[in-house]
Structure 1
Amino acid sequence: MNGSPSPVLVLPGWQNSDAAHWQTRWEQRHGYRRVEQGDWHWPRRGDWMARLEEVLLAAPQPCWLVAHSLGCQLVAAWAAHTRNADRVRGALLVGPPNTEREDMPPQLHSWRPVVRQRLPFPATVVISTDDPYCAAQRAGAMAQDWGATLVVAGALGHLNSESGLGDWDVGHQLLIALRTA
């Protein structure tokens, strides 16, 4: 690559990522930029997609995406509808939720159905074997549909603050591997 490395955009999930979340820590530690959404509590898929499009088009060069939870569904939905997929070099998708489950809160109903189209850029999906928001088999099927490499991280819950991952250096190594592949 010539010039400066491509920027990394952080895409939190529903209710945003708190101070202890690995995404927030990566922003502070590595200088990545969070895509702020207009409404973290009642996320509308179309609004979140429009915001991601806006940020990507304003970026000086194509970006890498680091998504957690609903941010994974955002990447899949955006990629299926945009004409600007070339603005993304690749994506690390961590803990995708199954928004089609019957017990999902009403705030997430606009995220149905889950977009299952192949992603037009390289991606790695990281899942946990005991994620309360998506069974490992279902998450694995999403990764396959998206054409992504699947990494099973073990029993780490939703791979969020409650998982106690800290800076989650293992996850960051997955991003580095994706960026250098």
Structure 2
Amino acid sequence: MTAPKILLLPGWQNSDPAHWQSRWETNYGDHRVDQHDWIRPLRGDWSARLEEEVLAAPGPVVLVAHSLGCILVAAWAAHSRRTAKVRAALLVAPGDVERDDLRQMIPGWAPIVRQPLPFPALMIAAQDDPYCEATRSREMARDWGARFVEAGARGHLNSESGLGDWPEGRALLNDLLKEE
């Protein structure tokens, strides 16, 4: 079987060089899905870019999403006819775009699509994420049919969280891929 292509789906404003997604891109050769506009993200545009990348992949893909990228996965999966190419999804620190403050900063992403994902998924979220309350992360994981892993008090699981290469996250991804 062909090794899956890992598609990195950063959140709003992209992932900076110190972010674990950027480190995974450098260390493992994972592929970042570049969006046309990182500052004013449009759900339809972001979904179309993901669709292009999934179609372009010669074999199966694995989605590794952070923050708004998690919300993208749910929205894309609800409309795409290419979901069978996805072996699994790692969803990290979803942003709650239904919150008033985030809805104003990132318009057009609410409501969050809440239907089960048609592929195996694992969500990792911290109990003190400033962009999504722990109960909301758990609700999203449940609605999407994703297994949930609580990351403790680590914030938004981004550069500011001091994760470095985040070997724990990579180990969870590898375990997820072994499960199916």
Unmatched tracts of structure 2, length 5 or more: none
Question: Which residue number corresponds to residue 39 of structure 1?
Answer: 37
What SS does the corresponding residue of 2:102 show, helix, strand or coil? Answer: coil
CA contact (8 A) 2:103 2:109 kept: no
Question: Which residue number corresponds to residue 71 of structure 1?
Answer: 69
TM-score, normalized by length of structure 2?
A: 0.98
Question: Which residue number corresponds to residue 23 of structure 2?
Answer: 25
Question: Which residue number corresponds to residue 144 of structure 2?
Answer: 146
CA distance in 2, matches of 1:104, 1:163: 20
Matches within 5 A, 1:18-167: 18-104=16-102, 106-167=104-165
Runs of 4+ in 1 over 2 A off after TM superposition: none
One-letter identity of the residue aligned with 2:48: A
One-letter identity of the residue aligned with 1:178: L
TM-score, normalized by length of structure 1?
A: 0.97
- Shift in Å, 1:107: 4.0
CA distance in 1, matches of 2:64, 2:167: 14
- Shift in Å, 1:105: 5.4
After superposition, the CA RMSD in angstroms is 0.8
Unmatched tracts of structure 1, length 5 or more: none
